[in-house]
Chain A
């Protein structure tokens, strides 16, 4: 990590990487378009628009890369400077864990722990407040949806909820 906030052809130039990812995506879309067949100009096929959109993506991505290489761009370090990067990471981790739990455990058994986790992770709420909120918010919503709007939330294999 350097102190520089604006670098050119360096591996930590965030602009350069954004462009490269765009280029890779564009190439993939072009390839998918070709595979789906372009058809003719009289009767364009399923891949026609994908192919040309992919080409445009490549053009824009190359523009971004060229700009990043010649004018430089901010480093990853500067983008995350002064940021408590652990916090979003923890929230992302809890959301991923939640998405694995949602189907087998059902709505209530997965959202109550998620709420508790989030309430304690972001900036700890004291337990005496966190526990009632984590319990009451999902329960309340679940009741309103199920009883008043007749919307069934996932109940999981234990059929709770």
Chain B
């Protein structure tokens, strides 16, 4: 009952005209930066932070939050249309989303990702309202040992992302980890694998690697074949998901939402892992796993829902403990503090209006996003009608700009071109880029947490088995790894392999 009163109070604040306006500006800017690959919510939020200072804390934070979840909506657009993931979390959307676009089903892919995001976002908000304080303990239940095991599980999950050989996927994952470790050691500040290049001290950026392996390599692969490309121009029959699409997507959206919400609470790579994990889960549960990788709508619906639910879950550690789980949340924390509010265990009781007002505004923002995004789908789909020989050079131009803007560094453009060429040859001889990218993101966290847990346990490896959460993660990982060796699993993998050979 008290919660309902609070929610009502929150809507009272969120529906003030000035707050509605700030909310709209936020989600609009968020959609824009989400669609442009490379320009993420972080730069937009840092630039707009000073503008919010003139208003009340509520309106400022409502706008900043709008940019954040707005960018989550837009992130999948380029993945589906041109195979360029705007951020790590949408790498997995490329796999089936772009295949759907090639089959002329870009509309349903974009539609299900917008509607799936809406459903997941709404659910995450309701959960945030009802259970935020009691879930704070989840965020701190994960210590170094638990994180290490979760990362191991994440890496094992990625073998389900590939259609070909397991050994190749694991080799790619190892290369991803090594690439992720380039730069100064996070514990001793020693330079590693930098080959004396000053630019490598900071490590390789995620954006150039992803844009190279996906965007540039995709263009290179497509230039060599005449037949495949015509499919892009195939008749676009429908703009929104039909009944069959909904039937196939309902389960994945539900499961993705729950998975994403809980993984999003964890500080660290929650949203990335949740999207990959959701994809793997759907492929495992599917009666026809061979469709995955060839335009299965479940492979778009699940991960997109997961990644938006994670965005909601991420507010829990910030609002209840003052611990920001990612850089964007940290920017929000900065915005709170500049406005004189200190997020922490006391915030909800000391500033109930602020907390409930923000949560209510996010609900309204989600509705705005849906209204804003659905008509855009028609426009995006038109983009695919551009002849390929004009589209490809434009894609290359936009990857160059996206990479440069993400770091203001010419070196990153070189890195992207190099990874584009590597990605082309990799794909030609049957190595897929998705495991590499996931391992690249998880690798540094894996290393850091392994070293910390070994220091904590004084070299005792049993620590990973003795701690219950860690043990569960490792047990699932083992089942997933050993599973394919059992006959019933084997059949499924072979089916998939056959499909690839055909």
Interface residues of A (CB under 8 A from B): 14-15, 17-18, 22, 25-26, 29, 32, 36, 40-50, 53-54, 56-57, 60-61, 63-64, 67, 79-80, 82-85, 87-88, 91-92, 95-96, 98-99, 102-103, 107, 111, 114-115, 118-119, 122-125, 129, 133-134, 137-138, 141, 145, 149-154
Contacts and interface: CB of A to CB of B under 8 A. Distances in A.
Interface residues of B, number: 61
Interface in B173-199: 174-175, 177-178, 181, 185, 187-188, 190, 192-193
A137 B168 CA distance: 39
Given A40-B459, A49-B450, A99-B413, A88 B424 contact: yes
B135 to A, nearest CB: 31
B389 interface: yes
Given A53-B177, A154-B410, A123 B429 contact: no
Contacts of B178: 25, 29, 50, 53-54, 57
14 contacts: A41-B461, A43-B451, A44-B451, A50-B181, A60-B167, A64-B167, A84-B226, A88-B220, A95-B417, A119-B393, A124-B389, A125-B390, A133-B394, A149-B47
Nearest to B393: A118
Contacts of A95: 216, 396, 417, 420-421
Contacts of A133: 390, 393-394
B401 interface: yes
B414 interface: yes
A145 B390 contact: no
Contacts, number: 165
Contact of A48 (B177, B428, B430, B451): B451
Interface string B407-436: 010100110010011001000111100000
B167 A42 contact: no
Contact of B224 (A48, A56, A83, A153): A83
Given A36-B192, A46-B188, A67 B167 contact: yes
B54 interface: no
Contacts of A88: 220-221, 223-224, 424
B318 interface: no
Given A32-B192, A80-B428, A99 B414 contact: yes
Contact of A92 (B220, B397, B454, B461): B220
Given A14-B430, A15-B429, 13 more contacts: A18-B429, A22-B175, A25-B178, A67-B167, A87-B224, A91-B223, A92-B421, A95-B417, A122-B389, A124-B389, A133-B394, A149-B39, A154-B410
B451 A151 contact: no
B240 to A, nearest CB: 30
A45 B85 CA distance: 34
A138 B165 CA distance: 41
Contacts of B167: 60, 63-64, 67
A105 to B, nearest CB: 11
Given A80-B428, A84-B223, A41 B459 contact: yes
Judged by DSSP, the binding face of B is: helix
Interface of B: 39, 47, 165, 167-168, 170-171, 174-175, 177-178, 181, 185, 187-188, 190, 192-193, 216, 219-221, 223-226, 387-390, 392-394, 396-398, 400-401, 404-405, 408, 410, 413-414, 417, 420-421, 424, 428-431, 446-447, 450-451, 454-455, 458-459, 461
Judged by DSSP, the binding face of A is: helix
Contacts of A118: 392-393, 396
A119 B226 contact: no
Contacts of A83: 224-225
B455 A87 contact: no
B397 A42 contact: no
B220 A111 contact: no
B192 A64 contact: no
A129 B394 CA distance: 14
A31 to B, nearest CB: 11
A88 B193 CA distance: 30
A17 B431 CA distance: 12
Nearest to A63: B167
B223 A141 contact: no
B192 A67 contact: no
Nearest to A43: B455
Contacts of A63: 167
Nearest to B227: A82
Nearest to B457: A42
B397 A138 contact: yes
Closest 4 CB pairs of A and B: A41-B459, A118-B393, A42-B459, A123-B389
Contacts of B404: 107, 153-154
B29 to A, nearest CB: 11
Nearest to A138: B397
A44 B223 CA distance: 47
A50 B446 CA distance: 12
A87 B223 contact: yes
A152 to B, nearest CB: 8
Contact of B446 (A45, A49, A99, A153): A49
A110 to B, nearest CB: 9
Given A119-B389, A151-B408, A44 B450 contact: yes
B145 to A, nearest CB: 14
A47 B450 CA distance: 13
Contacts of A153: 401, 404
B156 to A, nearest CB: 13
B170 A60 contact: yes
Contacts of A45: 188
A85 B417 contact: no
- Interface hub of A95, A107, A145 (most chain B Cβ within 10 A): A95
